[in-house]
Structure 1
Amino acid sequence: MSFLASNLKVLRKKSGQTQTQLAEALGLQRTMISAYEDGRSEPRLSTILTLTKIFDVSIDELTSWDIAAKGRQFLQREKLKILTVTLDQNDQERISMVGKKASAGYLNGYADPEYMENLPNFGLPNLSANQTYRAFEISGDSMLPLLPGTIVVGAYLESPAEIKNGKTYVLVTKNDGIVYKRVFNYITERGKLFVVSDNQVYKPYDISIQEVIEIWEAKAFISTHFPDPTPSAPISLEEIGKMILDIKSDIRKITSP
């Protein structure tokens, strides 16, 4: 909890509360708030949970992110937006599919119920019912061996803080459109996401978190391409010679009286 003390002071002051007012909200003595902010004492878990509700932050943000140094704008914890989803006749969410041709329109229509209703949708088994999913058709060869036309199914993330370094994500961005990359989360340091292609021909680059509209964690993919088997090591001349000798030996056994 290295940043808890400084974060508590920053968030309290930003909210316009005095130590006395915050103490009253928590049912504590003012001296306890002073001790928390000075780092002389740490609050109980129940108090931390109450603080996250008061300041609208996550436990991770409150305890592990250097808000004082980087500013609240880097946290971006608030939900990126309210999702528009498609339901079936049983009020179960369907997976809306954003094809290549629809990707440009998606940047303007993702919050439009009418637009979303006109997208193709489908269901998949074995996916958690507690998440919202969307499918995106990828283009280009930056994420080989997944070929252009592969459909990546992603689960919606409410916050960049949920990104796991090195995992693959579909990012819906203001400037770059829809991109599928391997992502590293550096928002606590630079306010950016570092994105990497699996195809090493393409160079990594940064995307400002301010440019990100949606984040979808890759959970499955659908493709008509079956990957080729891993090529075996080339056969040496010695191995070929041995194979020929074995074949000759077998022939002799068959033809001998």
Structure 2
Amino acid sequence: MENLNKNLKHLRLRKRLSQGRLSHRIGIGASSISAYEKKRSTPKLTTLMKYSKFFKRNLDELVNEDISELDLEKMQDTKGDKLRVLPILVDAQNEEMISLVPVKAAAGYLNGYSDAEFISELPNFRMPFTELSENKTYRAFQVEGDSMLPIPSGAYIICEYVQDWELVKDYTCCIVITSDDGIVYKRVIKDFEHNQLRLHSDNPEYLAYEVGLNQVLEVWKSLGFVSFKLPEVP
């Protein structure tokens, strides 16, 4: 357990949480958190499980590894200089199609996002809008839930593929594909210094949260949406 106290502090600071805020989020006393981080006390297994679930780290990493070193080794290529496999589909005229990822295909997309055969089995179409350039890659994702109201659950978000994540301006609405949470639609704030993205919902009832860059698979900049839920008369 040589690195345990260092790991607990590293994970808390990476999420920019005070000991008090972390206490509120995971149900552990702030004084106990302080004692763990200063190596004055050793957390019980039930407490370690709370840390493991909240920070999405397995117990072996928490207890035996130096997580700060692991995170550096897993630093994501934010500029996209390394190869990112992005299968696309073209029509008979060799023009790129837009692939649609409906809610029912969301789980499959997490495993098949870089698989050309999987992408070919999705609905694919073209949109005759002048706002869409012929030189860029687009995809449509159906989202569910009310975290991004007034965009309704079931809406289709039209997105542009982002190769260089550093070009995304803070608070831009994006579809972010993550290994842990799958497809999420949020406003993105870059925090490359701490090797993470901070994801915000427009619905104030949902708390913002951080996701490590090593968990991010794709980023798609949102351009607009299509919805079949018309506004109700006030």
Pairwise TM-score range, normalised by the shorter structure: 0.5 to 0.7
Contact 1:80 1:214 in 2 (8 A): no
| Corresponding residue of 2:78 | 76
Question: 2 CA distance for matches of 1:99 and 1:89?
Answer: 24
**SS in structure 1 at match of 2:99:** strand
- The reply to whether residue 223 of structure 1 matches residue 227 of structure 2 is yes
Distance in 2 (CA, whole Å) between partners of 1:167 and 1:107 is 22
Aligned-pair CA distance for 1:227? 2.9
Structure 2 residues not aligned, in runs of 5+ = 1-71
Of 210, 214, 218, which residue of structure 1 is paired with 2:218?
A: 214
Match of 1:155 in 2: 160
Structure 1 distance, partners of 2:83, 2:188, is 17
Amino acid at match of 1:98: V
Distance in 1, Cα, partners of 2:160 & 2:100:
13
**Maintained 8 Å contact 2:157/2:224:** yes
The AA in structure 2 aligned to 1:177 is: G
Counterparts of 1:1-257 in structure 2 under 5 Å?
Answer: 73=75, 76-77=78-79, 78-79=81-82, 81-124=84-127, 125-126=129-130, 127-187=132-192, 189-228=193-232
Q: Percent identity?
A: 39
**1:162, distance to aligned residue in structure 2 (A):** 1.5
Q: Shift of residue 159 of structure 1? A: 2.2
* Structure 1 stretches of 4+ moved >4 Å: none
Q: Distance in 2 between matches of 1:210 and 1:228?
A: 42
The residue aligned with 1:35 is none
Contact 1:80–1:159 (8 Å) recurs in 2? no
1-structure distance, mates of 2:73, 2:106 = 33
Tell me, yes or no, if the aligned pair for 2:74 and 2:214 is still in contact at 8 Å.
no
Q: Secondary structure at the match of 1:149?
A: coil
1:72 Cα shift?
A: 9.8
Q: In the aligned structure 1, how far is the partner of 2:147 from the partner of 2:230? A: 18
Provide the rounded CA distance (Å) in 2 between the counterparts of 1:168 and 1:150. Answer: 14
Pick the structure with more helix per residue. Answer: 1
Q: Is the 8 A contact 1:168 1:182 kept in 2?
A: yes
Q: How many residues align?
A: 160
CA deviation after TM superposition for structure 1 residue 130, in Å: 1.5
Change in Cα spacing, 1:118 to 1:74, as seen in structure 2 (3 Å) is closer
2:141 maps to amino acid: F
SS in 1 for 2:171: coil
Query: Structure 1, unaligned stretches of length 5 or more?
Result: 1-69, 232-257
CA distance 1:72–1:196, change in 2 (3 Å) = same
Which secondary structure does the structure 2 equivalent of 1:169 belong to?
strand
Q: CA deviation at 1:110?
A: 1.4
Report the TM-score, using the length of structure 1 for normalisation.
0.59
Q: Write the deviation string for residues 92-134 of structure 1: whole angstroms up to 9, x where unpaired.
A: 1111000101010011111211111110011112201121001
Shift of 1:185: 0.9
